[in-house]
Amino acid sequence: QVQLADSGGGLVQAGGPLRLFCTVAIPTAAIGTFSTLAVAWFRQAPGKDREFVVAKTWSGTTLYSGSVKGRFTISRDNARNTVSLQMNTLRSDDTAVYYCAAGQYRGTMYDTPSAYIYWGQGTQVTVSS
C-alpha cells in the first residue's frame, strides 16, 4: 500500500514563502514505481470544496491552477520518492489544509480529486495579512 505523508505547513505572513513536502512510501514489492505515478497538491479551506492546486504527470507535464501559477512550483525527486511545493508571495486566500495526492492516472483530468487514489493526511497553511 502506497502511503503519503505531507508536512511543512505553518503560519506565514502575507507575501512570504513556505515549502511543503510529501514523502511517498512505496511497498518493497513495488519499488521503482514512484516515477510512474502522477502527483498533485490540492487544498481545502473551511467550508469549501477541495481545490486543485498543481499536478505533475508521470511524463513530467506540469499543470497549475490559475490562482497559483507564477507563485507556486511543484517538484518531484524520483530517487527519493518525494514531492515538494514551493509557495511564494502567499496571500490570505491561500490559507487552507494542503493535501498531497498520487495515483496511476493516465487521463486528462488531473485537476480532479478522483484522479488520485493515494492521499496524505493534510498540512495546515495559514497566511496572516
Q: What single-letter DSSP state applies at residue 69?
A: T
Candidates 87, 84, 83; CA nearest to 72 is: 87
Can you tell me the mean pLDDT for 66-84?
A: 95
What percent of the chain shows pLDDT beyond 90? 81
Q: What single-letter DSSP state applies at residue 89?
A: S
β-strands 10-13, 38-44 pairing: unpaired
Nine cell digits for residue 99 = 493535501
Backbone angles phi, psi at 113, to 5 degrees: -55, -30
The reported pLDDT for the residue numbered 31 is 67
Q: What does pLDDT average to over the chain?
A: 94
